Amino acid sequence: MAQQAVDAPAYDASSIQVLEGLSAVRRRPGMYIGSTDARGLHHLVTEVVDNSIDEVLAGACTEIAVTLHPDGSCSVRDNGRGIPVEVHPKYNRPTLEIVMTVLHAGSKFDRNTYKVSGGLHGVGVHVVNALSEWLEVRVCRNGQEYFQRYERGAPVAPLRIDGTADRTGTETRFKPDATILETTAFDRETIARRLKELSFLNAGVTIHFRDERNGSYETFHHAGGITEFVEDLNQASNVLFKPPIYLHTKRDSTDIEVALQYNDGYNESSIAFVNNINTVDGGTHVVGLRAALTRTLNDYARGRGFFKGDKEGLSGEDVREGLTSVLSVKVLEPQFEGQTKARLGNSEVKGQVESAVNEKLAEYLEEHPTTGQSLVLKAVQASQAREAARKARELTRRKGLLEGGGLPGKLADCHTRDPAESELFIVEGDSAGGTAKQGRDREFQAVLPLRGKILNVEKARLDKMLENEQIRALIMAIGIGIGDEQDMSSLRYHKIILMTDADVDGAHIRTLLLTLFYRKMPGLIGEGRVYIAQAPLYRLQKGARVRYAYSDEERDREVTEFGGMKGVTIQRYKGLGEMNSDQLAETTMRPGARTLLKVTVDDAVRANELFQILMGEEVEPRRLYIQDHAVEVTNLDI
């Protein structure tokens, strides 16, 4: 194979600038990729994939292949036009090298289309390069195949031609630098989730995903685009109409795509993207969509005589009950705001989305009167339930005050009044509750025992929930309120710890509690206040030596450490109630000795997936899911 250096001047002063740029990235990686943990690591993959997606948006690419290699590297290959290799007029070096070492690929070679850029996104592939032990890029273009290798961001040799090529495209393979990133182990699920999302958002693109570490292979291709996305989100729900309402239109330079469908549930599952970036904090595009829904459904209902008086009307929350929607806009110059840069700020987009959705939705309702009627009826019921809930809440509050301080009788509160120091253990059953009360440190640990099953909030409206004694006790103890009236500043405990048995019932109660928190007190999970206590599964004893094991593997390890089974007694705990208060305190409650898992749920897609599994009938996938995903395992207080 021919190997020749591409004609370019030798290294000079400009390469020194490049090295300085790289060392800035390596010195402060967090500034570029947010963090150096697993999230930052996956950000590198996203960055490289997004560059190929930009090529899809430009209409120049149809296939992307992502591969995780056994050597710890990741490669991304596309069939786009290939990154230009021609000598860059300003830098006097091959453009490819400039893209890989200094520039954002899109910035100076404006492809004049929508780009995945802004905020933490679109920092440029040179950042990935700088944070990689090595990176190799292959470009097929002009009938040639070009190759260059970099180590820690710096080219180790000039761009060379590796032979001829009868296709075009770019392949980037990189190995994250373990001296900078805290973890370099790619998580297949995290990457698959993003690739699946991208294949919905860019209808027609085919994304191949191989994990050569275990031989798995998946393809993501959704010709139906975001319509299929909505169908996917609703797969476990009873939908009110099929197929989802879909619109795709342009207002000025903004490309607007919406798919929406209602189900017979009470929650909303809406996701919004700007240039393929998940805007978890919403923004002007979301405001526009919501305004259009409220306006159009109210107009429709009023026009058909659904309201008695002029004052009657549907609120935004009413019309979003049971809504599943995906909104995807493409904006030429997106302004991302907020701490995580996950909110769209462009003010013009609100009106653009609003007018597009108004028009399309009104037309849909005219053409589908039966569906229109059922949507309005559902929203009217939601409105009535909301009113009932408001009254019930009022009652709960007044009753709470009468009963003294508004605290439930079952709560064994802690002495300190400082929420930052206080912990609330929510315990399953009165018996384990009693043990926990004895084992706790009264100064800062409170215990609330819950009896029996608590209500499934997925299947109940707020007014029904407030009739439930267990839920009322929880609301009073936690202190922030529920539903639309929430005030995180009145949170009474900064750690809310679920302590349930390691059996099916325990998992069920934990699921219901997590659902309640996620759906009705989202601030708690959002601010990282919810934890799961890890109680041991086994107690091992040999003579005076006692060990606890939290998994089967750990049990086996301990047995080995004891020097075999001889003289070892193993007790399997079936529930918290089998421990005495000292044991419970020592293994599960006392800071310094215990392990807590912090509960986080990143995005709506994941949450949706999570609750479908959590609410499903199968217990085993649920248990595995809780262990593997739902709960990002953060070991604290070990």
Map residue 214 onto helix, strand or coil: coil
Residue (175 or 472) nearer to ligand 0RA, CB: 175
- Which of the ranges 74-82, 178-186, 243-251, 321-329 carries the binding residues for ligand 0RA, by CB under 6 A? 74-82
552 is catalytic: no
144 binds ligand 0RA (CB under 6 A): no
- What is the nearest approach in angstroms of ligand 0RA to the Cβ of residue 373? 49
Please, which residues bridge with residue 249 across strands? 256
Q: What angle do CA 416, 420, 423 make, to 5 degrees?
A: 65
501 is catalytic: yes
- What is the nearest approach in angstroms of ligand 0RA to the Cβ of residue 64? 9
310 is catalytic: no
Alpha carbons 538 and 536: distance in angstroms, whole number: 6
- Other CB atoms within 10 Å distance of the CB of residue 535: 25
Residue (95 or 234) nearer to ligand 0RA, CB: 95
| Nearest Cα to Cα of residue 328 among 279, 282, 278, 274 | 274
Phi, psi of 106 (to 5 degrees): -85, -20
- Which of the ranges 78-86, 159-167, 379-387, 629-637 carries the binding residues for ligand 0RA, by CB under 6 A? 78-86
Token readout for 475 is 């609301």
78 binds ligand 0RA (CB under 6 A): yes
Token readout for 353 is 């989305």
Q: Which 8-state DSSP code applies to residue 325? A: E
- What is the nearest approach in angstroms of ligand 0RA to the Cβ of residue 48? 7
Phi, psi of 11 (to 5 degrees): -65, 140
The residue from 34, 84, 119, 434 that contacts ligand 0RA (CB under 6 A) is 84
Map residue 465 onto helix, strand or coil: helix
Phi, psi of 19 (to 5 degrees): -60, -40
Single-letter residue type at 502: A
Please, which residues bridge with residue 218 across strands? 209
Q: Which 8-state DSSP code applies to residue 340? A: T
User: How far apart are the two ends of the chain, measured CA to CA in Å?
Assistant: 57
83 binds ligand 0RA (CB under 6 A): yes
Map residue 26 onto helix, strand or coil: helix
Residue (55 or 354) nearer to ligand 0RA, CB: 55
- What is the nearest approach in angstroms of ligand 0RA to the Cβ of residue 1? 23
Please, which residues bridge with residue 248 across strands? 257
55 binds ligand 0RA (CB under 6 A): yes
- What is the nearest approach in angstroms of ligand 0RA to the Cβ of residue 181? 22
- Which of the ranges 49-57, 412-420, 509-517, 589-597 carries the binding residues for ligand 0RA, by CB under 6 A? 49-57
- What is the nearest approach in angstroms of ligand 0RA to the Cβ of residue 173? 12
Catalytic residue of the set 299, 359, 458, 503: 503
362 binds ligand 0RA (CB under 6 A): no
Residue (126 or 547) nearer to ligand 0RA, CB: 126
Catalytic residue of the set 428, 463, 558, 609: 428
Q: How many residues make contact with ligand 0RA (CB under 6 A)?
A: 13
DSSP H helical ranges for 176-303: 188-201, 225-233, 284-303
CB 149 within 8 A of CB 156: yes
51 binds ligand 0RA (CB under 6 A): yes
- Convert 278-300 to b/e letters by CB count within 10 Å (16 or more is b): bbebbbbbbbbbbbbbbbbbbeb
- Which of the ranges 47-55, 155-163, 426-434, 443-451 carries the binding residues for ligand 0RA, by CB under 6 A? 47-55
- What is the nearest approach in angstroms of ligand 0RA to the Cβ of residue 66? 12
Residue (98 or 436) nearer to ligand 0RA, CB: 98
- Other CB atoms within 10 Å distance of the CB of residue 443: 10
Q: Which of residues 90-129 bind ligand 0RA (CB under 6 A)?
A: 105, 109, 111
Alpha carbons 169 and 171: distance in angstroms, whole number: 7
Residue (36 or 170) nearer to ligand 0RA, CB: 170
Q: Which of residues 149-178 bind ligand 0RA (CB under 6 A)?
A: 170
Residue (55 or 463) nearer to ligand 0RA, CB: 55
Q: Which of residues 587-616 bind ligand 0RA (CB under 6 A)?
A: none
CB 237 within 8 A of CB 323: no
- What is the nearest approach in angstroms of ligand 0RA to the Cβ of residue 205? 13
Token readout for 615 is 């609410």
80 binds ligand 0RA (CB under 6 A): yes
- Which of the ranges 73-81, 229-237, 273-281, 540-548 carries the binding residues for ligand 0RA, by CB under 6 A? 73-81
47 binds ligand 0RA (CB under 6 A): no
Alpha carbons 190 and 454: distance in angstroms, whole number: 32
CB 436 within 8 A of CB 447: yes
81 binds ligand 0RA (CB under 6 A): yes
Alpha carbons 622 and 638: distance in angstroms, whole number: 26
Residue (77 or 285) nearer to ligand 0RA, CB: 77
Taking CA atoms, 607 is separated from 243, 338, 459, in Å, by 23, 22, 16
- What is the nearest approach in angstroms of ligand 0RA to the Cβ of residue 9? 22
Catalytic residue of the set 218, 317, 505, 578: 505
Per-residue 3-state assignment (H helix, E strand, C coil) for 586-609: HHHHCCCCCCEEECCCCCHHHHHH
Residue (48 or 365) nearer to ligand 0RA, CB: 48
- What is the nearest approach in angstroms of ligand 0RA to the Cβ of residue 159? 15
632 is catalytic: no
Catalytic residue numbers read: 428, 501, 503, 505
Chain residues in the site for ligand 0RA (CB under 6 A): 51-52, 55, 78, 80-84, 105, 109, 111, 170
